[in-house]
Structure 1
């Protein structure tokens, strides 16, 4: 890669080195805080895609047969390098996504939790054993890798979301092709270089840059055995349908419209802090962001006032400066989010804090939209029904817990939700009755730790398996049961040395 001045070329990665590709097609990569093009991304052709997939295919047999001891040694080295240099990765994320550096650093840290989880893969791959299941017959189970697998990542978490998948895939003996977003692709190359430095053999981790051409080849190429995807629901549906039609395992995490219920007995200061954090962090470009606040009973006026006071104190600006919230990822996305605020205003909602008029701490050509708080939203407004994916928090007023619960359960998504209350009975009832995959109780963004699994219900997930945790291990492996009878014992030679793992 050349200097970060617009002439920089962001290439593919195969066999532990950059690969320019042959298509000749490129796309601009832009700093959202300045609007300046900082590089050109190589877009893969079908031939480029197949060359990267072929590299992963060629590397698989040797990596599959590499001992767990050697695999985990590479994982531990990668973890140490990532821990030492995560600030560098965070700054790359900020330069292409726009989130503030502290938020980007948090993203890397959460992704690193999955790396650490994968360092213990030996325990998770242990099978079961039954001696003398029948006379002189033993039965045992093992889990084996699938082969080359693909990870198709979104723009909002260019490091964390890929790290939900590839550490486990690699640790369990698979090879990986990562297709990052065209909007912020450099983090993937940085990660690939780190894997090479950690000693990962050539072809085990590869990066395929591109657009739909690259995605479609990953979905139909028979060498790819499984696909992990995170993105919008329409694309998740497409990925799931296309991948499964071509015989692949697919876990496709789709969109969300996350609600938070605040009951009358809740600590309103805690709830107000949580709504600001969950609604406006990362400019609302989180699949776990709270975008719909459901205020129950007569607390709405007080709660909205508390949220307003906190929101107007936030600074929107360049993520490398002293700012609370950065820009949106592209101008087109900024304009799309602003159009929902326009629609809400036309539909009769109350714009309490208007992010369209924000004065940013940054360059005038950045993709700015400040935190926006909208009250008196009704369920027929597009600002409520659609996934906006921006810093827009809508307030819906209801009279009862049952009415609030029905809002969530009647919606098409089931990704994340939260309830704020000091009533243990209400919280327990909510966690039992709500039809959502991830639930927070006085926690606004209930993203599970790495040893649990991440994923929603309904149109927020296509496929049967969630990301990371034990479900992730099962996704990237398949079970085998061996029944054996040995009639003649065999003996090894004499060796008084302490046995070693190799």
Structure 2
């Protein structure tokens, strides 16, 4: 029997009251394993009201005490490591090693946030003129809404929410309705860590919840990760309602392979970055760009046998390389795009359509697929497939490779594989992409740097986690002060003040 899930409001489980539910599936079997409640506007209002009330106390809690909660949460997360990975595997489908890799990247942000007393330090200028001192202080913004995707059900809520609450805000998370259980587990772990009730909330649902957060006058900021169409809507609608918004969206990440690259290393990197998590990553490499026909031939010679060896499997299969995709609709969409690539004239060297696994005949599996001779006008080149599909397109020059990267509408991540320092330096300075890898296929920065793309991969000016997240989750207040002594007699001065 499917488990009925819940919301997490003001430090406790709350049953859904709207009467609307959505099925949660095990992608490996196609079985319904949960019922996710879809909140009404009134339920969202209740969560925001509790978060607003909790903000009054949490925002005044010393940063040192907030850091202590971060340390405690880290201990609990390590204790619950295997349980979190299991929950992700059942609902998302990703293999256990992949799930634990996600946990590690989420934990990094928790560890970064333990240094919040230092990160929130302001600036001070003494005696700038006439006995006046100027001090800048960082203040929390209030209630923050986080809209998080299915593909990283633990990592992305931590990337957003940890920095939000560390800065003194309260947080309302709207996780994906496809795999909400691990987000609810995080909320219970925060309570055990000593986070006051109402500081971290989880409200499940669909567009009703998204719009309620975007329109609510007491939600001061929105952080979003998801598709570009929805992300652009969230950004525009949130800004229209006078909120600060950061929106991280779709991608079509290229990997340029120069003729001097180590071809075996490049092929291994492409398979890892292209097919890990069944390609359901916004930083997955989906376009290989070998420069010149000789590079293309050498690369294809190495890619085909590597890809043909990849096996599909359920999350708990230790031999599984490629896990199922999230839904039957996703499987059908991906296979439809593969078919369109064939129809457009690309060479399908490895075909993952129709993949089936004994004992898991109803699972949402798509096998690893490889296209060669893909051109820029093809739909499979322009579209974010978000599945285990790698396309190879071959410019004749390095300059044309850079042009292809820059002319694509997405600019999330990119990589170059080369032994030449001059090419690498030129590449990183001339591609219009937010995150660049040099012989690194998935250049996701560590927590003490910052994450974010460009072009239609991101809307808004600030980045995710790292030092720049402080700018998003706090508002800067500048104080000019003077404590007059008997010797200061300004009198009336109507001219604009200057030093």
Counterpart-to-counterpart distance in 2, 1:362 and 1:194: 35
Counterpart-to-counterpart distance in 2, 1:47 and 1:194: 26
Shift of 1:73: 0.8
Per the alignment, residue 97 of structure 1 pairs with 92
Worse-matched range after superposition: 212-221 or 313-322? 313-322
Counterpart-to-counterpart distance in 1, 2:51 and 2:392: 48
Q: 1:190-249: CA deviations, max 9, x gaps?
A: 000000000100000000100000000000101000000011111111000000000000
Shift of 1:357: 4.0
Match of 2:222 among 204, 227, 230: 227
Match of 1:139 among 134, 140, 144: 134
1:336 alignment partner, SS class: helix
Counterpart-to-counterpart distance in 2, 1:400 and 1:137: 60
Per the alignment, residue 86 of structure 1 pairs with 81
Counterpart-to-counterpart distance in 2, 1:433 and 1:468: 25
After superposition, residues 474-485 of structure 1 pair within 5 angstroms as 474-485=471-482
Q: 1:238-272: CA deviations, max 9, x gaps?
A: 00000000000000011111111001100000000
Counterpart-to-counterpart distance in 2, 1:133 and 1:377: 62
Shift of 1:131: 2.0
2:238 maps to 1:240 = no
Unaligned runs of at least 5 residues, structure 1 = 490-502
Counterpart-to-counterpart distance in 2, 1:29 and 1:358: 22
Match of 2:422 among 410, 420, 425: 425
Unaligned runs of at least 5 residues, structure 2 = 487-499
TM-score normalised by L of structure 1: 0.95
Per the alignment, residue 391 of structure 1 pairs with 388
Shift of 1:488: 7.7
1:29 alignment partner, SS class: strand
Per the alignment, residue 275 of structure 1 pairs with 270
Shift of 1:487: 4.6
Counterpart-to-counterpart distance in 1, 2:359 and 2:101: 22
Counterpart-to-counterpart distance in 2, 1:25 and 1:221: 21
Q: 1:114-158: CA deviations, max 9, x gaps?
A: 111111011110011122222332221100000000000011101
2:166 maps to 1:194 = no
CA RMSD of aligned residues (A): 1.2
Shift of 1:32: 0.1
Counterpart-to-counterpart distance in 1, 2:136 and 2:401: 46
Per the alignment, residue 454 of structure 1 pairs with 451
2:55 maps to 1:60 = yes
Counterpart-to-counterpart distance in 2, 1:443 and 1:419: 8
Per the alignment, residue 461 of structure 2 pairs with 464
Counterpart-to-counterpart distance in 2, 1:465 and 1:139: 25
Per the alignment, residue 169 of structure 1 pairs with 164
Worse-matched range after superposition: 281-290 or 351-360? 351-360
Per the alignment, residue 313 of structure 1 pairs with 309
Match of 1:408 among 405, 409, 418: 405
Cα distance, 1:318–1:361 mapped onto 2, change above 3 Å:
farther
Q: 1:10-65: CA deviations, max 9, x gaps?
A: 11101111111320110000000000000100000011111111111111010000
> Does the 8 A contact of 1:56 with 1:203 survive in 2?
yes
2:80 alignment partner, SS class: helix
Counterpart-to-counterpart distance in 2, 1:237 and 1:99: 27
> Does the 8 A contact of 1:75 with 1:119 survive in 2?
yes
2:439 maps to 1:442 = yes
Match of 2:336 among 339, 345, 350: 339
Per the alignment, residue 492 of structure 2 pairs with none
2:475 alignment partner, SS class: strand
Q: 1:383-413: CA deviations, max 9, x gaps?
A: 1111110000000012110111111111111
1:13 alignment partner, SS class: strand
Counterpart-to-counterpart distance in 1, 2:48 and 2:358: 43
Shift of 1:482: 1.2
2:329 maps to 1:326 = no
Per the alignment, residue 489 of structure 2 pairs with none
Counterpart-to-counterpart distance in 2, 1:139 and 1:369: 60
Q: 1:437-462: CA deviations, max 9, x gaps?
A: 10000100000001111000110110
2:345 maps to 1:348 = yes
Match of 1:381 among 364, 378, 381: 378
Per the alignment, residue 491 of structure 2 pairs with none
> Does the 8 A contact of 1:282 with 1:326 survive in 2?
yes
Counterpart-to-counterpart distance in 1, 2:375 and 2:136: 54
Per the alignment, residue 290 of structure 2 pairs with 295
1:481 alignment partner, SS class: strand
